[in-house]
């Protein structure tokens, strides 16, 4: 579904991604790990279409389409989802209204009829249960005054509602206590099907106790320097990143 080839990206003069190669197929869970500043969040942002980054080389295909040529909204409509590391607070816009707009714009993009109020209600109610989120939270201004855990659960709620083909979770575990982490992870696991895929961007191994990855990649200086299965994550937990880095430098 996703084919990243020799991807280079930079902010201004600063090269952050230095030739990423990554193949993701339906049904797979990939974990992208690496020390701070290795380019993990940049990779997530570039895939979702954040305009701060300039892609200087390489290509990304998503179901055969040139992903880099699409606007962020078109990427979402094609089935890509980014759970933000820092979900944005938006005063005056409630999660439910925002999700209604999003769903109907995506449906219009796909040539589907708009959903009505009854269908929305049913869908929201069902997906709220996935992450144990309350209606009152969804009626409030988006993320405004939400706790760290509430923000992350709201991200997974949005993911549950939009049912992406590829979900990228950017440091979704950061700032979560163990209960919140479990709820979020359970939500992600419930959404897993043989047709969709997940990329987990994370610094720590602990999220991978709850969401078991098929592949683990270590990102360093904008490149994937090592790939393996879930055992690699455990080894990283035990030994840190230094043994990989020192082998390179």
Partner 1 sequence: MLENSLVDSIKKSHSLTEAQQLALGKFINKGFPTSKWEEWKYASLKHLNEHNWHWAPESISVDFPKPVWNSFAIIQTLNGNTSSEGTLPHGIALLTMSEFMVQNPAFDSVWKARNPILDQNSLYDLNEALVADHAVLWVKKGVKIAEPFVHHYLVSGQQDTAIQSKLFVYLEEDSEITWFEQQRSESSHAILSNYVQEIWVSKNAHLTLIKDQDLQQSITHVDHTFIFQQESSLVDAFTFSINAAYLRNNLHFYIDGPQVVSNLNGLYIPGEDQLMDTHSVVDHRMPHSESNELYKGVLMGNATGVFNGKIFVRPDAQKTNAFQSCKNVLASDRATMNTKPQLEIWADDVKCSHGTTTGQLSDEALFYLRSRGISKATAQTLLLLAFVQQVIDKLDHEEIRAELSEKIVNKIQASLGLTLS
3-state secondary structure of 220: strand
Pick one of 34, 87, 187, 213: the residue that binds partner 1 (CB under 8 A): 87
Q: Does 145 bind partner 1 (CB under 8 A)?
A: no
Could you give the dihedral angle defined by the CA atoms of residues 124, 129, 134 and 136, in that order, rounded to the nearest 10 degrees? 20
| 141 vs 245 by CB, closer to partner 1 | 141
Number of residues interacting with partner 1: please give it, by CB under 8 A.
34
Q: Does 105 bind partner 1 (CB under 8 A)?
A: yes
Which stretch in 33-41, 86-94, 131-139, 190-198 sits in contact with partner 1 by CB under 8 A? 86-94
Q: Does 71 bind partner 1 (CB under 8 A)?
A: yes
Q: At what angle do helices 95-109 and 148-162 cross, to 10 degrees?
A: 30
Tokens 């902010």 -> residue: 11
Contact 80, 44 (CB under 8 A): no
Q: Does 123 bind partner 1 (CB under 8 A)?
A: no
- Other Cβ atoms less than 10 A from the Cβ of 129: the count is 12
Chain residues 37-56 in contact with partner 1, contact rule CB under 8 A? 48-51
Which stretch in 27-35, 60-68, 73-81, 229-237 sits in contact with partner 1 by CB under 8 A? 73-81
Q: Does 77 bind partner 1 (CB under 8 A)?
A: yes
DSSP string, 8-57: EEEETTEEEEEEEEEEE-TT-EEEEE-STTSSHHHHHHHHHT-TT-EEEE
| 60 vs 208 by CB, closer to partner 1 | 60
CA–CA dist 113, 115 (Å, integer): 6
| 38 vs 158 by CB, closer to partner 1 | 158
| 108 vs 248 by CB, closer to partner 1 | 108
| 6 vs 71 by CB, closer to partner 1 | 71
Contact 221, 38 (CB under 8 A): yes
Interacting residues toward partner 1 by CB under 8 A: 48-51, 71-73, 75-77, 81-82, 84, 87-88, 90-93, 97-99, 101-106, 108-109, 114, 141, 158, 162
């Amino acid at each position: 579904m996703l084919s990243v080839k020799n991807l280079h990206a930079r902010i201004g003069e600063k090269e952050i991604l230095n030739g990423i190669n990554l193949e993701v197929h339906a049904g797979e869970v990939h974990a992208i790990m690496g020390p701070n500043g290795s380019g993990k969040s940049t990779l997530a942002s570039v895939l979702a279409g954040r305009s701060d980054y300039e892609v200087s080389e390489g290509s990304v295909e998503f179901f055969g389409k040139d992903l880099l040529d699409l606007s962020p909204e078109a990427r979402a409509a094609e089935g890509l989802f980014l759970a933000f590391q820092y979900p944005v607070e938006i005063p005056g816009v409630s999660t439910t209204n925002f999700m209604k707009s999003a769903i109907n714009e995506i449906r219009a993009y796909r040539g589907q009829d708009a959903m009505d109020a009854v269908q929305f209600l049913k869908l929201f109610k069902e997906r709220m249960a996935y992450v144990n989120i309350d209606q009152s939270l969804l009626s409030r201004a988006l993320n405004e005054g939400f706790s760290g855990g509430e923000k992350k659960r709201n991200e997974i709620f949005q993911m549950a509602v939009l049912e992406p083909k590829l979900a990228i979770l950017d440091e979704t575990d950061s700032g979560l206590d163990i209960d919140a982490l479990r709820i979020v992870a359970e939500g992600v696991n419930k959404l897993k099907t043989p047709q969709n895929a997940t990329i987990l961007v994370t610094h720590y191994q602990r999220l991978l106790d709850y969401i078991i990855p098929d592949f683990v990649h270590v990102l360093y200086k904008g490149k994937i320097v090592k790939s393996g299965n879930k055992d690699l994550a455990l080894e990283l937990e035990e030994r840190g990143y230094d043994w990989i880095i020192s082998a390179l430098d």
